[in-house]
Structure 1
């Protein structure tokens, strides 16, 4: 772990912004796209870069904005990695979001998010909070191989339940689905049934597969050699050096996915889910005369 003074914290414009407080990750997921060379890491991926001035930057940015909007975090680096337990930078940023009555859409695999459920509840009451949880693998033993340094899927489902009790809407990322590993009807159906049970608002799937780029492909293949002997060679025969790696069972699994989501009123396209996460209730988008006077 190393600390930096960042020059800015928010990216994007218009109706929503994104931020990443950390860079790199300690969860060790074997398929992680953030390892890709295109993101130009200049330090080892597990050597977490900490933007120690993130709260100060966020406060400067939010207090100058007239229009309230959603703030997203967790798309590149999990905001609840192991170092957050001591640093609490994510919590400090949530306190600022609450202070200025912005909304937040936060994505994680970690049950550490429960330590901030009080703040998430307050943000949701004042504006809007959406908690996004990644669920890829229902079987605990397989989950431990694919996502070794973070809580298992069943614990993450408990997190979803706790959010539901507070009335905090949730979205599940059911991706990636790894060909020949977790692309089974049993796995997909088990995850979907739990999503129905805990009342998730939407589920994001990008076609029942994964993507591989320079950097993460090598890490993924090394993990396959370690845990699934012969699987790397099967991938190379089937997919070559492709970026998109769809499950051969993608059509079948997508049909199951769409059927269950439709039957239970769950948002099932990425577009629908992103629209829901980006929109803020109208009353928080409107500026009063007082806003114009004091801006």
Structure 2
């Protein structure tokens, strides 16, 4: 049974975002179906008690229609920070597609962050938004489908994500990879990093952004440890010894791994940063503008 809620607002302002270039953030759902064992959105600080229970913000599109025209600055609307806009429920309710239609109508730029290959369904709208600016960043944490099925149990396989990126790129959509998080002792092998970069290039992606570590805080930590227990009882103890109650957990050989990542990207001429939409200050029509006669 679907659960619906009423949202108070749809677009929150992002003050500064040097990594993704966002001006506004949009969440159409609460909770996520992908069940990734490392998900930071499960952290207690976000106040979502049951993150696996999906809530649909049923007035989201109505709010979006009102809020976008009121924005004095045209800036990139990001989605995918707190949940995946292309999780399975999206196929049925199409909230993301409806939101993209509104964004396209008002000629606003958008940046989608997802693990969902369902994003290819909306290539037609993304092509339209691309006349302004549209970017799709696909999260890839491992090139190994079997490993992905453990750490991201209900998300499409990495192979399907690479295929989706190829389709997006082939249709002229600005597409890249988020190589993050990199999980200590799990996905921090040199070969995994090289393979993700290599397959990203083959898929025609135009950038790849990496972060060699993960967050590990209250709420998220307990869920992550339960995920580790299901696979390897020794891993949890290794994390506890290494990181304790640290919030940010960099991989043990961060500098070496980043050097390998940089070298591989440079060799394949794959940028490690994305290009952003250049914000435009909206023109205010004064009493003296235009012809009122």
Same fold per superposition (TM over 0.5): yes
Establish whether residue 260 from structure 1 lines up as the match of residue 260 from structure 2.
Answer: no
Instruction: Report what 1:2 is aligned to.
Output: 3
Q: 1:150 to 1:66 in 2, by over 3 A?
A: same
Establish whether residue 172 from structure 1 lines up as the match of residue 180 from structure 2.
Answer: no
Q: CA deviation at 1:230?
A: 1.0
- Per-residue CA distance 1:210-247 (angstroms, 9 max, x = gap): 11000010000111111112110111112222122222
Q: CA deviation at 1:83?
A: 1.4
Conserved? CA contact 2:142–2:187, under 8 Å: yes
Instruction: From 230, 237, 244, give the equivalent of 2:241.
Output: 237
Q: 1:67 to 1:237 in 2, by over 3 A?
A: closer
Q: CA deviation at 1:267?
A: 3.0
Instruction: Report what 2:69 is aligned to.
Output: 63
Q: 1:228 to 1:108 in 2, by over 3 A?
A: same
Aligned pairs (5 A) from 1:76-155:
76-124=82-130, 126-155=131-160
Distance 1:235 1:286 in 2: 49
Conserved? CA contact 2:170–2:204, under 8 Å: no
Structure 1 runs (4+) greater than 6 angstroms displaced:
288-291
TM-score relative to the length of structure 2: 0.90
Q: 1:287 to 1:199 in 2, by over 3 A?
A: farther
Aligned pairs (5 A) from 1:157-168:
157-168=162-173
Distance 1:114 1:200 in 2: 14
Distance 1:67 1:113 in 2: 27
Distance 2:217 2:164 in 1: 31
Distance 2:239 2:185 in 1: 9
- Per-residue CA distance 1:163-197 (angstroms, 9 max, x = gap): 11111111211011111111111111110101222
Instruction: Report what 2:196 is aligned to.
Output: 191
Distance 1:180 1:74 in 2: 26
- Per-residue CA distance 1:55-94 (angstroms, 9 max, x = gap): 1111111123354321111111111112111111111100
Conserved? CA contact 2:72–2:282, under 8 Å: no
Q: CA deviation at 1:209?
A: 1.5
More helix by share: 1
Q: 1:52 to 1:236 in 2, by over 3 A?
A: same
Q: CA deviation at 1:289?
A: 7.2
Instruction: From 19, 22, 34, give the equivalent of 2:26.
Output: 19
Instruction: Report what 2:187 is aligned to.
Output: 182
Unaligned stretches of 5+ residues in structure 1: none
Instruction: Report what 1:247 is aligned to.
Output: 251
Distance 2:135 2:242 in 1: 38
How many residues are paired up? 283
Conserved? CA contact 2:166–2:205, under 8 Å: no
Distance 1:180 1:65 in 2: 44
Distance 1:199 1:255 in 2: 23
